[in-house]
Amino acid sequence: MRALKYAILGLLCRKSMTGYELSKEFNYELAEFWYANHSQIYPELKKLSDEELVVFDVEITGDILETKRYTVTDLGKSEFNQWLHKDEKIPRTPKDPFRLRMYFAHNLDCQARLHLLDNQKMQHVKRLNSLKKTFEQYPSTPSKDSDRFGDFIVLRGAIMREEQNIAWIDEVISYCR
């Protein structure tokens, strides 16, 4: 499937970027639905370059520091657009290590169970608050054709996901009392 390939091509369709900049995207904004670290990104960029889906220019920062700025080619744009139109079967539900633990919860006494649940809830609440803070920066829904639309909807999705996670934990807590 090579999702990383298309994630990179999509980002480069917006604007030319360096590997380092791409890496930051995956570790911050995009992280709500995709991530990759630099040890995956640099080799993938090389591959895309070999396939002539991207090209790069070398820039000099300061005196000698070289950085490669990648730009998507017409071929790259075309492959990206083809992928973008594809209907997809929904994947298997993603793995969830906490739910795996809770699946075996009957082996835990009430106190231990509530301890784990409270800890998870706290973390999800924290994440939700940070997402909400980011969301406040949108004064209104961006136009459905602006490139901020994508950011907006996935942010809304992340908020809904966290709210749902918390609601589930609350429900389990109520069963345990």
Partner DNA sequence: TTAAAACATGTCAAACATAACATGTTTTAA
Partner DNA sequence: TTAAAACATGTTATGTTTGACATGTTTTAA
Quick one: 93 or 137, whose CB is closer to DNA?
A: 93
* Among the listed residues 42, 83, 98, 168, the single contact to DNA using CB under 7 A: 42
33 is a site residue for DNA (CB under 7 A) = no
Helix (H) or strand (E) holding 69: strand 65-72
Q: Rounded distance, CA 52 to CA 86, Å?
A: 22
Question: What x-and-dash track marks residues 83-112 binding DNA by CB under 7 A?
Answer: ---------x--x-----------------
Q: Half-sphere exposure (CA, 13 Å, Cβ side) for 97? A: 2
Q: Rounded distance, CA 65 to CA 59, Å?
A: 8
Stretch of residues binding DNA (CB under 7 A), selected from 40-48, 112-120, 125-133, 147-155: 40-48
18 is a site residue for DNA (CB under 7 A) = yes
Q: Which residues have CB under 8 Å from 128's CB, separation 6+?
A: 159, 162, 163, 166
Quick one: 68 or 113, whose CB is closer to a copy of itself?
A: 113
Question: What x-and-dash track marks residues 146-165 binding DNA by CB under 7 A?
Answer: --------------------
Q: Rounded distance, CA 151 to CA 103, Å?
A: 34
With CB under 5 to 8 Å by kind, the binding choice for 101 among DNA, a copy of itself, none is a copy of itself
Q: Rounded distance, CA 39 to CA 47, Å?
A: 13
Quick one: 33 or 135, whose CB is closer to DNA?
A: 33
